[in-house]
A = this chain, B = another copy of it.
Amino acid sequence: MTTEKIDGVAVTTQANVYFDGKCVSHSITLADGTKKSVGVILPATLTFNTGAAEIMECVAGACEYKLAGSSEWVKSGAGQKFNVPANSSFEIRVAEAYHYVCHFG
């Protein structure tokens, strides 16, 4: 089951644009102060570095990802999640579009 909507949030109107627009997200803050972002990655192969740990939840489309220290590409589609440790990185490759919610911590 995918998260189609997130209620009761404050949305930051200015987008986060990474990699010349291959990744675009908007930051949201929940009523309890929790910060997340909703975004999309367009066709590309990209490497992201994490500060805080992240849970990447796919809400539409799909990707393949490879965590730092792994040699295995793993597919993640709608309704699936993967965890990225803090102060780490992951590669992601997207063939069509990967729509996600990024949960921190």
Is residue A38 within 8 Å, beta carbon to beta carbon, of the partner chain?
Answer: yes
CB of A91 to closest CB in B, whole Å: 20
Q: Does A45 contact B (CB under 8 A)?
A: no
Nearest CB on B from A8, distance (A) = 7
Q: Is A1 an interface residue (CB 8 A)?
A: no
**Chain A at the B interface: SS class:** strand
Interface residues of A toward B: which range? 20 to 34
Q: Which residue of chain B has the shortest Cβ distance to A99 in the bound complex?
A: B14
The distance in angstroms between the C-alpha atoms of A89 and B34, with both chains bound, is 39
Instruction: Give A contacts to B, CB under 8 Å.
Output: 2-15, 17, 20-22, 24, 26, 28-29, 38-40, 42, 59-60, 97, 99-101
